[in-house]
Structure formats: C-alpha cells, structure tokens
Amino acid sequence: MPGSLRDASLNRQLLELAAEQMKGEAELVIFDEIEDLPLFNAELETDPPDPSVARWVQALQEADAVLIASPEYNGSITAALKNALDWASRPNDDAPLDGHLVAVMGASPSSRGAAGGQQVTREVAERIGAEVLDAELLVGRAPKVIEDGDLVDHELQGQLEALVGALLKATAKRLGTDGPS
C-alpha cells in the first residue's frame, strides 16, 4: 500500500519494484484507493458511508501480508496512511490488520529516508495488532536513486531484495509452506 497519493510517487515505484522481485513467488496487489477512504469516524465504523472502506477491509482480509511504502511528512506518516490504518483498526474485536504480517519501507528526498514516518507506521501497525517485521528499507535522497522506476543504487537494491525476501519467508512460515529459502 502506498502512503502517498501521487500516481507516480517514489513510494509507489518502490512497491512496483518489490512486486517485480516477488514475481513467481507471490503477487503484490497495490491498493490504490486510500485517497477515497472517508475520514475515520467511530460513529460510522459499523456502516461506513463509502464502499472504498469495504474494499480496503476485504483487501486486508485477503492478504497474506501487507507491505507499506510511505513518505514522511513532518517527521510522521501521511494523513492518508494514518486514516487507512485507522479504518484497519476497526472494529476493535475484529480489526482486519490484527495478526497480519507487515513490512515497512519508505522513500524520501531527505537523507533520512522517511525514518520518522516508518517508525510511526510501525508503532501504529503494532498497536493495531500487526506483526511488524524488523526488516525495513530507508531510501534517502530518493529522486537521485530511483530513476524511471529503477533503483539505481546497488546497495539499496540489495536491501530491497532482503526486505522482500524476509517478508516472503515470514509469510511462508506463517502459512506453513516451503516458500523461498
């Protein structure tokens, strides 16, 4: 899930690169509707006003794991990502993100690579009940290392491969399949 609303965001490109690495082993479905989710309102959680909420919940329920790629806004997560996570936390006794494997990565023009945003994303996901992998990917100075949809920094490419591998391995273990070694 991209935490950015821009169609050609660097974080969306990161997700597309992760999807390429998963080919043959898993399918990464990118949920493109977080901008359609209405602002979370507890009074509406049992009867959400927009069908995008039902699609979001269904996407989470059908997912074996969740990969979040998001920029950092002012040291935190985007409002759209926070809103999506709020919807994913309800209802309390049956939250669709509860118990899911989650991996976090992020790209940012800053040198920190969305570190603050990733930390907040991890904290929120864990509070909801997700199992957040220790592996993460911080892509700093992203406009210089992501060019035309390619990660041109070989060290970062290796880190992306490691993150995707860790997520695939943890998912396979949880599902009781052999999966990648």
The rounded distance, in Å, linking the Cα atoms of 105 and 135 is 9
State pTM to two decimals. 0.93
Query: What is the share, in percent, of the chain residues with pLDDT greater than 90?
Result: 77
- Residue 67 β-bridge partners: 103
Q: Which CATH number fits domain 10-175: 3.40.50.300, 3.40.50.360, 3.40.50.720, 2.160.10.10?
A: 3.40.50.360
Residue in 105, 34, 39, 31 with CA at minimum distance from that of residue 72: 105
> Which position has the token pair 């999966």?
179
Q: Which amino acid is at 34?
A: I
User: Taking 70 as the threshold, does the pLDDT of residue 89 lie above it?
Assistant: yes
3-state secondary structure of 102: strand
Question: Considering Cα of 104, then 109, then 112, then 114, what sign does the dihedral take?
Answer: negative
Domain chopping of the chain, boundaries: 10-175
User: Taking 50 as the threshold, does the pLDDT of residue 81 lie above it?
Assistant: yes
User: Taking 80 as the threshold, does the pLDDT of residue 55 lie above it?
Assistant: yes
Mean pLDDT in residue range 32-43: 93
